Amino acid sequence: MITLECANLRGFLDCASLAVSKGSVCAVLTETEFEKNLLLRIFTGLTRLDSGKIFIFGQEVSSFSYTELNNARKRIGIVPNNGGLVSNLKVWENIMLPLSYHSSSHHDMDEKMMTILGKIGYDDSVSALPGPLPAYKKRLAGLARAMLMEPDMMIYDSVFDGLSSDIRGKALETITAFQQEKEGRASLFLDTDESALNYIKANNIYTLKKGKFYERN
């Protein structure tokens, strides 16, 4: 799904290698939010490496055309820590927005959206603007938006941060089920909090330290 081969980025990565394989669940712990955010940009092709290679769905990013890179990104569902919502759009409009960009049908999507929101514990109005909402509710809306696109891979940015035990349990159950719904779907959890590992059932756990990824036993 995503592979780094001797990736170098000045002041950040030093011949770092990492592989998130098809159907796997991986977690990467970073020391700072800055490192985590930069990794997310690298994994989605928004930040280019100084040298080394990054492959997304088996193709090297440097060989992608603009259209090919956009098509690859459509296959990745991203759940930003802040939700990534547009402030002047209602919650439901934010969740449905990617369907417009990706030329997907809206048929039955309203019902599917409400089903997902119910499963993850979102209990606020979908007609509300996101501004006044707590950070975790914005993230839940972002989670529903990503899932609605049925991606081949999910990237979760500190997805359990600040959740109550009840909401965290619902979100985890939904995330686990979603992973298993589509054959070969991969999940990558990015976090700075060691305690997040208590909830993530990962096949592989890595720590980013001094520019390299170290796999935990």
Q: What is the mean pLDDT of residues 18-40?
A: 97
**Which pTM was predicted?**
0.93
Q: What is the mean pLDDT of residues 131-136?
A: 94
Q: Which CATH superfamily is domain 2-215 in?
A: P-loop containing nucleotide triphosphate hydrolases (3.40.50.300)
Distance separating alpha carbons of residues 75 and 151, to the nearest angstrom: 5
pLDDT at 118 over 60: yes
pLDDT at 208 over 80: yes
Beta-bridge mates of residue 153:
76, 186
Among residues 152, 184, 140, 155, the alpha carbon closest in space to that of 44 is found at: 155
Residue type, 29: L
Whether residue 158 contacts residue 36, with contact meaning beta carbons closer than 8 Å, is answered with: yes
2 DSSP assignment:
E
pLDDT at 98 over 80: yes
Q: What is the mean pLDDT of residues 101-116?
A: 75
Backbone angles phi, psi at 38, to 5 degrees: -70, -40
84 DSSP assignment:
T
**145-191 tens-digit pLDDT:** 999 999 999 999 999 999 999 999 999 999 999 999 999 999 999 99
The predicted structure's pLDDT at residue 139: 96
Distance separating alpha carbons of residues 187 and 202, to the nearest angstrom: 9
